[in-house]
Amino acid sequence: MKAMTLLDLVRGPLFFWALMIMIAGILWRLSGLIFFRLQSRAAKPKDDAPIVAGLRTVALRSVPPHELEKNITFQHFTGYAWHIGWFATFLFLGAHLSLIKSILGFAWPALPNGVIMVLAAMTLGILLTLWIRRWYNPVLRLISNFDDHLSVVLTILPLFTGITAFTHWAPFGTRYETMLAIHILSVELLMVWMPFGKIFHVVTSLIVRFRTGAAFSRRGVKA
Amino acid sequence: MSSTSASIPVESFEKRVSDLPHQGTSKLSPEEQVARAKAVIVSKLDSRSAMELETCIHCGMCSEACHFYEATQDAKYTPIHKVHLVRSVYRRELSPLRWFNRLFIREITAEELSEWQELLFNSCTECGRCDLICPMGIQITSGIRLGRQALAAADLMPPELRALNDEQTRENTLLGVGTDELHEAVRELDSQGIVVPLDRPKADVMLLTTVSDLLLYRQSFAAIARILDKLGLAWTIRSEAFEASNFGLLSGSEDSQMLMAKRVTDAARACGAKLVIVPECGHAYPALRFNAAEQLDQPLPFEVMAISEFLGREIKAGRLKVKKLDGSKKVTYHDPCKLGRHGGVFEEPRDALGALGIDLHEMESHGTTQYCCGGGGGVMMLAASEELRRRTFDIKMRQVEDSGADSVVTSCDTCRMTFERGAKLVNWNRPVESLAELVAANLAD
């Protein structure tokens, strides 16, 4: 019987367990939050369309008012840039789409590899810049914790290992299969950490925006 | 600008405020302080706040919305940092991941509680501007309020707020002003031909007033009385519950807050009021309009309106007629945070100014994004915040000057006092006017 390679391990049982931990973790944390005690809403609302207000805040909170925007322009746009770059790399690289097709049975057109590599490198650069900024900016240094740093590292690793695997860069004579396995392992680490750290905001941020928009509307404020 | 009645033999409002205690120590042991603070957070934090605390990505953008951070560039004033204690207790005691979080997050200490008094009280006006910038949509002010409640339970509220809260809770007076002073003010207005229907057993409208109106801005009280009289409403003001200010809210003492709200709601019920009008007092509006119903967990059987909201509505509906000025008066409107971001009162005061033919020059930040005057949330009373107030006032002053207006109109005594104090410190010459007084001075015949 053929021995299981590292690549087999990360593609098989490790991926399965990472996925299970991610799903269970999300359900656990989310249900714990949703079924928490609710605040009284006995006050007569000023606006009787909180759902519309909530949806408006979901959309508009992506674009802060201009006099607030001018103070956060760098952070705001770099934030957008790396999120777009990261997800574009994940969702439009040909190799990833082959995997997606093997799982879902369908896929969508890929972007040229060269474009994806530029996006991935740009994203990596921005994430490293923002991480360095987190260490040196007084506000960010004060409010940062272990989760912030670990989450950045775990977000960077799939990009870095993906670029090395894709370009067949093989430090210390490492085989391509090993680099690919390390790449998949880095994704699994991210999946496992996702429900426990700040990356969980991908699940809750739109819900929070919606609830805030609805809460403000009850007081007659467009937030 | 302001008028202190000569007929009342009382010390000035400012003197009474400066006589408040500035220092005090808690009688509780450190262990009791921590236990009480934690108990408040554990028992009061709700689902919305919990999800918000789990969603913060520590981006720090909220710092850029805070006038205290902007004025000092000191990182400790970052709004989300002020919520750190609340978040720590939440993550250790309540979070779905508390078993995991306890590996990394230690217990809060009494020293930290004392340290956070400065951040939660002295350097936060609960203005809510940070709530508007957070890309996640986190309402940081809710966390600040809960933090204040936790510190209050730990007997760590600032001494000035503790003194005022205790006085209002026990004596139903503020700065020594109670029923006698109200009656005296009513008699004085009566001598000027302004009728204030005191303690009518039945009335459609119940008016509240404030200690600052009685001591410092008597003309504002008179203006509102003249307007209500002009409208021909069946209104009253009640001796047992005339004070709109709620120092339970400002000090973080929820029981006192509820007691003060209950005094007003009971009086309104007793006289059958369909409408309660909150005078030019910012925090009193959301305290009664929203918090009272939420605390009592039942809708109020009457409508609550801020006077600026009421004026705008009555003028727009054509029931209150005002003279149109010639348009040469260049004015900017300062939105009190508690009326605006906390109460949605933005359009009505502008409707009133428009009807008066005022040339309105908006500040760059106005409406939902306006800058706080620097004195809200009880900060105006705190001696320890004086330097911070002065520095944040510079921001407001620049905004007013850049607007090109000759004067500022607002509808909150605290904002007005903060403006006047700030102006006095730097010899700034822009007058600050009351919206109610402006309307009353221009009532059509």
Alpha helices (H) along B94-217: 98-101, 110-117, 129-133, 140-153, 159-171, 179-191, 211-215
What per-residue confidence (pLDDT) applies to B2? 41
What per-residue confidence (pLDDT) applies to B11? 59
What per-residue confidence (pLDDT) applies to A1? 58
Give B-chain residues touching A222 at CB under 8 angstroms.
368
8 Å CB contact between B146 and B40: yes
B219-235 tens-digit pLDDT: 999 999 999 999 999 99
Q: What is the mean pLDDT of residues A77-86?
A: 95
Closest chain A CA to residue B81? A143
CA proximity to B54, closest of A12, A31, A11 = A31
How far is B414 from B233, CA to CA, in rounded Å? 28
8 Å CB contact between B70 and B64: yes
Under an 8 A CB cutoff, do B47 and A31 touch?
no
What per-residue confidence (pLDDT) applies to A175? 87
Give A-chain residues touching B399 at CB under 8 angstroms.
none
Q: What is the mean pLDDT of residues B385-391?
A: 94
Closest chain A CA to residue B136? A205
What per-residue confidence (pLDDT) applies to A38? 79
How far is B53 from A193, CA to CA, in rounded Å? 18
- Is the confidence at residue B136, as pLDDT, over 90? yes
Give A-chain residues touching B300 at CB under 8 angstroms.
43-44
In order, the DSSP letters of B223-265 are HHHHHHHHHT--EEB-GGG-B---HHHHHT-HHHHHHHHHHHH
- Is the confidence at residue B6, as pLDDT, over 60? no
Closest chain B CA to residue A74? B61
Closest chain A CA to residue B55? A201
In order, the DSSP letters of B69-80 are HHHH--GGG-HH
The β-bridge partners of B237 are B198
- Is the confidence at residue B75, as pLDDT, over 60? yes
Under an 8 A CB cutoff, do A75 and B294 touch?
no
Under an 8 A CB cutoff, do B294 and A39 touch?
yes
Residue ranges of domains in chain B: 30-156, 174-313, 321-440
8 Å CB contact between A47 and A220: yes
Give A-chain residues touching B341 at CB under 8 angstroms.
221
A189 close contact with B: CB closer than 8 A: no
Give A-chain residues touching B84 at CB under 8 angstroms.
143
How far is B160 from B149, CA to CA, in rounded Å? 16
A212 close contact with B: CB closer than 8 A: yes
Phi-psi region of A174 (alpha: psi -120 to 50; beta: other; left: phi over 0): beta
A96-140 tens-digit pLDDT: 999 999 989 999 999 999 999 999 999 999 999 999 999 999 999
B324-368 tens-digit pLDDT: 998 888 999 999 999 999 999 999 999 999 999 999 999 999 999
- Is the confidence at residue B1, as pLDDT, over 60? no
- pTM value surpassing 0.95: no
What per-residue confidence (pLDDT) applies to A69? 81
Pick the CATH number of B30-156 from 1.10.10, 1.10.1060, 3.40.50, 2.60.120: 1.10.1060
Write the CATH number of the domain with boundaries A46-69+79-218: 1.20.950
What per-residue confidence (pLDDT) applies to A3? 74
> Number of A:B CB contacts under 8 A?
176
Phi first, then psi: what are they for B305, rounded to 5°? Answer: -135, 145
Q: What is the mean pLDDT of residues A65-79?
A: 86
Instruction: Give percent of chain B with pLDDT exceeding 70.
Output: 98
8 Å CB contact between B208 and B277: yes
Give B-chain residues touching A200 at CB under 8 angstroms.
54-55
* CATH architecture for residues B174-313: Up-down Bundle (1.20)
B174-186 tens-digit pLDDT: 999 999 999 999 9
Lowest mean pLDDT among A69-73, A135-139, A218-222, B383-387: A69-73
Q: What is the mean pLDDT of residues A175-201?
A: 95
B409, containing H or E segment: strand B407-410
Tell me the average pLDDT of chain A: 93
Of A71, A198, A220, Cβ closest to residue B344: A220
Lowest mean pLDDT among A127-141, A160-174, B241-255, B348-362: A160-174
Question: Which burial class, exposed, middle or buried, applies to A103 when counting CB atoms under 10 A from its CB (0-12, 13-18, 19+)?
Answer: exposed
Are B30-156 and B321-440 the same fold in CATH? Answer: no
How far is A170 from B404, CA to CA, in rounded Å? 65
The domain defined by B321-440 folds into Rossmann fold (3.40.50)
Residue ranges of domains in chain A: 46-69+79-218
A167 close contact with B: CB closer than 8 A: no
A1-35 tens-digit pLDDT: 577 888 999 999 999 999 999 999 999 999 999 88
Q: What is the mean pLDDT of residues B37-63?
A: 95
How far is A90 from B93, CA to CA, in rounded Å? 37
